[in-house]
């Protein structure tokens, strides 16, 4: 694929052109952090950052979303009949998304778009979205993407990859959607012949800067119940306060709640991100709770990402190594440590087994 070279001036011009065709999103300063927000006229996406505080999953899967509207007005013909909410069909583009966050869309697609059921909200939004990635030239210390299925220059899930070198940007179209976006932006100067080689060198350098890893090679071969009953869960998760932050910042957490919200005689059936860290998530109407204890909920989160998903799809872990949960957790619970424990756990050498035999 040809590399396109973009200088500062054509970058700014191109972004403005995109705004006419796409709702254009990019990292913007929010207090001390960066978040993905819609870019207004004249605004450019921030390109010098490590990553946004929240993952960009909300672009396709909003934290709160109206599914249906309804009326409870008895005098109306359509009283109590749910009506679909009109969806905004305008294409959208996310500029400056990190490769790990782009791969996350591919992972959650398995959940929202299965053979049996298609989640129309997620699928329509995903299809309307073009993902323009920004390669990481200086990964953070908590990033472990190279052992989680991608890397600082990873392309899977992206439509375009942007690479920064000094003040110049290089763009590589990965999909047809990406080609169309580059065309709409009017970026067309071919990069110099040696640019591709330079990019490869940058990639190798960035990859070598990754200092954190997870071991996942033995997760598949173990039995669910072996890891589930491992003795380390209570101790490892003891300090968790079940705040749910890890699930909300995560690009691959997809669980949601559905609630009816009525105002006067009309209302909306909404869906909202939910968290398996909350005891309300599973409590039965009888008061019985299958995951009554805190450690059981934390175990669910890790087992889901690192074992249930692995067994179900046979294609790696449900984690892209972005490191957000590690950076955001108030008590320093670290998925890398838990993953390695799960991977290396040997039920045969478990002390309780030895004691009972």
Ligand X SMILES: Cc1cc2nc3c(=O)[nH]c(=O)nc-3n(C[C@H](O)[C@H](O)[C@H](O)COP(=O)(O)OP(=O)(O)OC[C@H]3O[C@@H](n4cnc5c(N)ncnc54)[C@H](O)[C@@H]3O)c2cc1C
Positions that interact with ligand X (CB under 6 A): 280, 283, 285, 287
Give residues 73-92 in contact with other proteins (rule: CB under 8 A): 79-82, 84
Between 50 and 278, CB nearer to ligand SF4:
278
Find the part of the chain contacting other proteins (CB under 8 A) among 6-14, 159-167, 194-202, 257-265. Answer: 257-265
Q: Are 44 and 14 in contact (CB under 8 A)?
A: no
Q: SS3 helix, strand, coil % of the chain, rounded to 5? A: 35, 20, 45
Whole-Å CA distances, 6 to 44, 102, 167? 14, 22, 9
Give residues 186-225 in contact with ligand SF4 (rule: CB under 6 A): none
Q: Does residue 303 touch ligand SF4 according to CB under 6 A?
A: no
Find the part of the chain contacting other proteins (CB under 8 A) among 19-27, 35-43, 115-123, 234-242. Answer: 115-123
Q: What are phi and psi of 260, to 5 degrees?
A: -95, 130
Exactly one of 50, 69, 124, 245 binds ligand SF4 (CB under 6 A); which one?
Answer: 245
Short-list 125, 126, 59, 61, CA closest to 94? 59
Beta bridge partners of residue 6, listed in sequence order:
169
Minimum distance from residue 295 beta carbon to other proteins (Å): 13
Find the part of the chain contacting ligand SF4 (CB under 6 A) among 106-114, 166-174, 201-209, 322-330. Answer: 322-330
Question: Which residue matches tokens 């109407």?
Answer: 285
Between 215 and 334, CB nearer to ligand SF4:
334
Beta bridge partners of residue 5, listed in sequence order:
170
Tokens of residue 164, six digits: 């920064």
Q: What is the DSSP letter of 191?
A: P
Q: Does residue 63 touch other proteins according to CB under 8 A?
A: no
Question: Which residue matches tokens 């939910």?
Answer: 274
Find the part of the chain contacting ligand SF4 (CB under 6 A) among 48-56, 77-85, 243-251, 264-272. Answer: 243-251
Residues that bind ligand SF4 (CB under 6 A): 240-246, 277, 298, 328-331, 333
């Amino acid at each position: 694929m040809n590399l396109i070279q973009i200088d500062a001036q054509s970058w700014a011009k191109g972004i403005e052109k995109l705004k006419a065709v796409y709702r254009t999103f990019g990292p913007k300063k929010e207090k001390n952090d960066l978040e993905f927000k819609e870019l207004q006229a004249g605004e450019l996406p921030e390109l010098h950052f490590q990553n946004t505080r929240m993952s960009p999953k909300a672009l396709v899967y909003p934290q709160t979303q109206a599914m249906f509207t309804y009326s409870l007005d008895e005098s109306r013909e359509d009283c109590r009949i749910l009506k679909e909410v009109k969806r905004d069909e305008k294409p959208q583009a996310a500029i400056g998304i990190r490769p790990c966050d782009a791969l996350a869309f591919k992972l959650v697609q398995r959940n929202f778009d299965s053979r049996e059921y298609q989640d129309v909200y997620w699928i329509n939004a995903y299809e309307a979205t073009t993902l323009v990635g920004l390669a990481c030239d200086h990964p953070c210390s908590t990033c472990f993407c190279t052992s989680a299925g991608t890397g600082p220059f990873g392309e899977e899930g992206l439509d375009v990859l942007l690479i920064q070198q000094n003040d110049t940007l290089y763009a590589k179209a990965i999909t047809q959607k990406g080609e169309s976006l580059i065309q709409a932006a009017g970026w067309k100067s071919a990069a110099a012949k040696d640019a591709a080689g330079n990019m490869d060198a940058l990639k190798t350098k960035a990859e070598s800067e990754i200092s954190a890893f997870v071991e996942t090679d033995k997760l598949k071969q173990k039995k669910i119940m072996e890891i589930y009953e491992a003795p380390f869960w209570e101790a490892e998760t003891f300090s968790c306060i079940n705040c749910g932050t890890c699930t909300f910042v995560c690009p691959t957490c997809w669980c949601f709640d559905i609630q009816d919200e009525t105002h006067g005689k009309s209302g909306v059936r909404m869906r909202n991100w939910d968290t398996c860290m909350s005891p309300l998530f599973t409590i039965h109407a009888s008061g019985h709770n299958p995951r009554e204890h805190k450690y059981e909920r934390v175990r669910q989160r890790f087992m889901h990402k690192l074992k249930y998903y692995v067994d179900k799809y046979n294609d790696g872990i449900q984690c892209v190594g972005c490191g957000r949960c590690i950076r955001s957790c108030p008590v320093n619970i670290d998925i890398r440590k838990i993953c390695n424990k799960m991977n290396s756990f040997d039920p045969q050498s478990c002390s309780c087994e030895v004691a009972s035999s």
